[in-house]
Structure 1
Amino acid sequence: MRFNISFLFLLIAFASCTKSSNPSHIDLQKQIDDCENQLKIAVPKLTDLTKHPRLIDKDKKEWKEVTNDKLIWTSGFYPGVLWYAYDITGNERWKNEAIKRTEVFEDFQNIKEHHDIGFMMFPAYGNGYKISGKKEYKDILLNSAASLASRFNPNVGTIKSWSNKMHPRWKQHITIIDNMLNLELLFWAAKNGGDQKYYDIAVRHAETTMKNHFRKDLTSWHVLEYDSINGNVLNRHTKQGFADDSRWSRGQAWGVYGYTMVYKETKDKKYLDFAKKLADTYLSLLPHDMVPAWDFDVQSNPKEEKDASAAAIVASSLMDLSTFVDSETDQERYFNAGVEILKSLGSEKYSAVGKADSFLLHSTGAKSLGHEIDVALIYADYYYIEALSRLQKLQSKK
């Protein structure tokens, strides 16, 4: 049985009767309007097509832009934000801006130096194809998938992340939990004229990661190093978490989102069951305001910075997960949890309205590396507006 839409909208209708009596009430239109108004402020300032916005430093208002370099994984999120802005508002201005900001990355389709081509190309070209029917993007996406698939090591069963030159701590085959998100590009390609092997690679990567990347408590390590020849796990470490054995909150979020997406693409129930377990574990670790510290193992210290990007990623995935589960109790539970996260992100505490040009404040990119600490991040905004778009679509399916 698939998601009971009538049940959901009874829930929404009940929630809309009173804000104070039901936790699932959300002023979705206000949060969408806030995003659009923020873009009206930011977009006129972002005119250099050789750069993209990445972060806003604490106590600053405007985006710090970085060069559109093939090694910088965040380049696709800004055009992705614009595509979703068009999706949720219908405003042609955002479509035109999205096209302009997407098509500067055409040369990136042949990147083979790292795994992040999925992050770079799918939010931009993938959303352009899906949201606006830009069929001319198809070949670019298929070429991007071929580039990503070239990094698959069948001896290990995963796509290699990063390069050893960039990350000399590890000498052999590296795989990070973030890489789960890049599988969406491969699944799309297999359904849209690409080789069937793209689907097989994505499934094998998901299976291997499910087997090796998670602890008994269903939290994940960040970085695994495999023997390139026999596929044995050599090390389990972190790059961006507090410690090798700590629970980096965005890593947990990548897992929830990744396995929810794998179930969406495969309909294999083992991935749905695993996504539910990961989501339940993540939700059980959250503080009262539903936005985690940058690492769950430092969360007891109120001085540790938050990571709104992790919250946005999970909010988006919970919108999907609530439609996949059979139980009405689970439908309501995941839906309400996603709404509560979105409400918190749209609140005065985390909203950038009147403070900076982003949608959200208080994300942490890599505190362990000493940078992007308590800032606005472009990918936090991307997953936030994606979550709003998914919620809007649920509400429209009456």
Structure 2
Amino acid sequence: MKNLYIVFISLGFLMSCQVSKKNEKQAEVSNTKTLLERRYQELLNYPVDSMSIPRSYTKTTNEVRGVASKDWTSGFFPGNLWQLYLITGKQEFLDKAETWTSFIEKEKFNNNDHDIGFKVYSCFGTGYKVTGKEHYKDVIIKSAKTLCTRYSDTVGAIRSWDFNKKKWQYPVIIDNMINLELLFEASEITGDSLYHKIAVNHANTTLKNHFRPDNSVYHVIDYNPSNGEVRLKNTHQGLNDNSTWARGQAWAIYGFSMAYRYTNDQRYLDQAIATANFYLEHENLPEDGIAYWDFDDPKIPNTHKDVSASAVVCSALYEIYGYTKQQYFLDKANLILASLMSDKYVLDAEIEAPFILDYSTGNKPKEDELDEPIVYGDYYFLEALVRKKLKDSK
């Protein structure tokens, strides 16, 4: 049984960035509860509905976008509740986490895309670390087996998507690196090296083909499934094929730091560092560390930011610091976390919606989920809080 110590984050830590008052109403709320505590409570209060798992919130219509378990984001909301249990130690968060997590279980059989890792591991993975439940372990193993059905030894990678067949034959997206954690964990749980081998092969193929000479990353690499040769290097959610989509860059930083955790392959850590340096040192990254949705958008600074990308990077930087002990990465992680915790990016206290952070960008080319709270932004923000506290407690 795996053990994970409960993390208690003090009120002083939560509010290390002084929250200014946006208006009189918010000031009244802040006088009785911290802004973050209020946001956490909104997650707890959200009505349980297996067919309306919170994904994002539209401020103009005051509507929560709820999804079924098959949506790639479905596991993040229960994952947020697990992490809030780690942060607060309150049983009510654990109880709700278990309830919402149960709605995702059927996805262990869904092999229609690569997103089973996002869906299952973000909730069952964390839940297993917290509780050690055998059932959670079984779901992780079955999900890993399902994900492996999308692997091609000829390509050396897991196929991401099945749509857009007129353009792509075997598309692999940088996001897919995150799903390797499911395979690495399944290998550790079972002792079966096949999961580890597939994850390593996928990481190696990604390392070979996804990065430009400047260590920025392509979003989509399309392969010829019959011989594994690269057909196309393009994007699906970035500005254009040669631009740097911020969340794609974040997935690469996080994915390769995570892959290093399980393999000790120095190439993975080197790539994570190089890709992080591109991100952190880019001339279009604002001083507060919160990136615009694409580093090459010609409308910068008059365009959308992506808090979710910055939250992913923030969490990854704490992990990179743990391996390198380079103060630079810790300072950058703390800077980003402080910005995320400020009232500039935390969702207004008076909004009754189960989200924490504002101003994420979902899919700019489709004009979808712009300047909105999105559930995965909260997930990696909360993970960054947990990682920082664990580091500080050592």
Q: TM-score, normalised by structure 2?
A: 0.89
RMSD: 1.7
Partner of 1:12: none
Partner of 1:133: 132
Matched-pair contact (CA < 8 Å) for 2:250–2:309:
yes
CA separation of 1:392 and 1:77: change in aligned 2, threshold 3 A = same
Matched-pair contact (CA < 8 Å) for 1:28–1:388:
no
User: Is residue 2:218 matched to residue 1:232?
Assistant: no
Give the drift of 1:193. 0.7
Which runs of structure 2 are paired with 1:1-398 in the superposition (5 Å)?
A: 28-30=13-15, 34-59=35-60, 61=62, 63-68=64-69, 70=70, 72-163=71-162, 166-193=163-190, 195-285=192-282, 286-298=285-297, 301-325=300-324, 328=325, 330=326, 332-356=327-351, 357=353, 358-397=355-394
CA distance in 2, matches of 1:76, 1:35: 21
Give the drift of 1:396. 1.3
Paired amino acid for 1:114: D
CA distance in 1, matches of 2:122, 2:266: 26
Paired amino acid for 1:39: Y
CA separation of 1:362 and 1:88: change in aligned 2, threshold 3 A = same
Paired amino acid for 1:43: L
Matched-pair contact (CA < 8 Å) for 1:352–1:360:
yes
Paired amino acid for 1:346: M
Matched-pair contact (CA < 8 Å) for 1:118–1:182:
yes
Give the drift of 1:185. 0.2
Give the drift of 1:299. 6.2
CA offset digits 1:211-264 (Å, max 9, x no partner)? 100100100110111000111100011110011111000000000000000001
Give the drift of 1:140. 0.8
Paired amino acid for 2:91: E
Matched-pair contact (CA < 8 Å) for 1:363–1:374:
yes
CA offset digits 1:83-135 (Å, max 9, x no partner)? 00001111111000000000112211111111000000001100000122223
Q: TM-score, normalised by structure 1?
A: 0.88
Aligned residues: percent identity? 40
Structure 2 gap segments, 5+ residues each: 1-10, 18-33
Paired amino acid for 1:30: M
Give the drift of 1:48. 1.4
Of stretches 352-361 and 269-278 in structure 1, the one that deviates more from structure 2 is 352-361
CA separation of 1:62 and 1:369: change in aligned 2, threshold 3 A = closer
Secondary structure in 2 matching 1:216: coil
Matched-pair contact (CA < 8 Å) for 1:220–1:251:
yes
Secondary structure in 1 matching 2:233: strand
CA distance in 2, matches of 1:175, 1:136: 31
Matched-pair contact (CA < 8 Å) for 2:305–2:359:
yes
Secondary structure in 2 matching 1:373: strand
Matched-pair contact (CA < 8 Å) for 1:83–1:128:
yes
Matched-pair contact (CA < 8 Å) for 2:14–2:36:
no
Of stretches 56-65 and 27-36 in structure 1, the one that deviates more from structure 2 is 27-36
CA distance in 1, matches of 2:64, 2:131: 26
Matched-pair contact (CA < 8 Å) for 1:190–1:197:
yes
Matched-pair contact (CA < 8 Å) for 1:249–1:295:
yes
Give the drift of 1:162. 1.1
Secondary structure in 2 matching 1:304: coil
Matched-pair contact (CA < 8 Å) for 1:151–1:159:
yes
CA offset digits 1:293-339 (Å, max 9, x no partner)? 110001652221000000000000111110101xx5x2x11111001
CA distance in 2, matches of 1:31, 1:160: 43
CA distance in 2, matches of 1:194, 1:59: 50
CA separation of 1:213 and 1:90: change in aligned 2, threshold 3 A = same
Paired amino acid for 1:344: S
Partner of 1:5: none
Secondary structure in 2 matching 1:297: coil
CA offset digits 1:57-87 (Å, max 9, x no partner)? 134555321233x2x1000000000000001
Give the drift of 1:270. 1.6
Matched-pair contact (CA < 8 Å) for 1:36–1:85:
no
Matched-pair contact (CA < 8 Å) for 1:254–1:313:
yes
Structure 1 gap segments, 5+ residues each: 1-25
Of stretches 107-116 and 129-138 in structure 1, the one that deviates more from structure 2 is 129-138
CA distance in 2, matches of 1:58, 1:299: 26
Matched-pair contact (CA < 8 Å) for 2:314–2:336:
yes
CA distance in 1, matches of 2:290, 2:66: 26
